[in-house]
């Protein structure tokens, strides 16, 4: 559990794409939605990782206080197969916890990002901004499809923006 907790704590830094780190570092008037979304997701990763670390340390203390140090033979985990099983179960539990908690963090981001949603607003790329499509797809959790034109992607961005705005925006 300690290993899963440590990985979850470091996940936001270890596995961050350099392009996303670049977008988080941009100076944007008003606020930087990439940095805000990343902070919410990293907070969730830290909460889940911290919980796994605490649980792992508590299990170690419990084991030591209940004869773990003085034991003359291995306990339940006495084979490689059982070690792999425990690691797999812990990994699956961590992945499920992170998936659920990340969903809540994204919802929180959308509620705050779309708090001033205007259904009449049309999104349009800026003429001298080569990263506009990439930045919007990251904010809206979209991916460009293979062979998709800019116009097709813009239509999907607009559709996703409107759907999220209607769902999370204020009335």
User: How much is the pLDDT for 75?
Assistant: 63
Lowest-confidence range among 1-5, 59-63, 76-80?
Answer: 76-80
Do 83 and 124 sit in the same domain of this protein?
A: no
Global confidence as pTM: 0.79
Question: What letter would DSSP give residue 6?
Answer: H
Do 58 and 136 sit in the same domain of this protein?
A: no
In angstroms, rounded to a whole number, what is the distance separating the alpha carbons of residues 43 and 37? 10
Taking every pair of Cα atoms in the chain, the longest distance, rounded to a whole number of angstroms, is 73
Domain end residue (candidates: 113, 135, 155): 113
Domain end residue (candidates: 87, 113, 139): 113
- Tens-digit pLDDT profile for residues 81-98: 878 888 899 999 999 999
pLDDT category at 53 given cuts 50, 70, 90 is very high
Q: Cβ(12)–Cβ(38) under 8 Å?
A: yes
Do 85 and 160 sit in the same domain of this protein?
A: no
Domain residues for the domain of 138 are: 118-171
Domain end residue (candidates: 88, 113, 138): 113
Q: Cβ(5)–Cβ(50) under 8 Å?
A: yes
Do 162 and 135 sit in the same domain of this protein?
A: yes
Do 89 and 165 sit in the same domain of this protein?
A: no
Do 30 and 94 sit in the same domain of this protein?
A: yes
Beta carbons within 8 Å of 139's beta carbon, 6+ residues apart: 33, 34, 37, 113
Do 88 and 133 sit in the same domain of this protein?
A: no
**How many domains are there within the chain?**
2
């Amino acid at each position: 559990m300690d290993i899963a907790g440590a990985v979850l704590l470091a996940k936001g830094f270890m596995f961050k794409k350099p392009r996303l780190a670049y977008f988080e570092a941009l100076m944007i008037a008003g606020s930087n939605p990439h940095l805000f979304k990343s902070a919410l997701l990293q907070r969730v990763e830290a909460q889940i990782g911290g919980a796994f670390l605490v649980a792992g340390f508590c299990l170690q203390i419990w084991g030591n206080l209940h004869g773990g140090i003085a034991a003359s033979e291995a306990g339940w985990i006495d084979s490689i197969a059982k070690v792999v099983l425990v690691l797999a179960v812990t990994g699956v539990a961590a992945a499920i916890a992170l998936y659920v908690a990340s969903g809540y963090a994204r919802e929180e981001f959308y509620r705050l990002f779309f708090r001033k949603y205007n259904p009449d607003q049309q999104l349009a790329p800026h003429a001298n901004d080569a990263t506009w499509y990439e930045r919007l797809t990251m904010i809206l959790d979209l991916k460009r499809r293979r062979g998709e034109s800019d116009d097709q992607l813009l239509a999907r961005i607009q559709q996703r923006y409107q759907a999220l705005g209607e769902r999370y925006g204020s009335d």
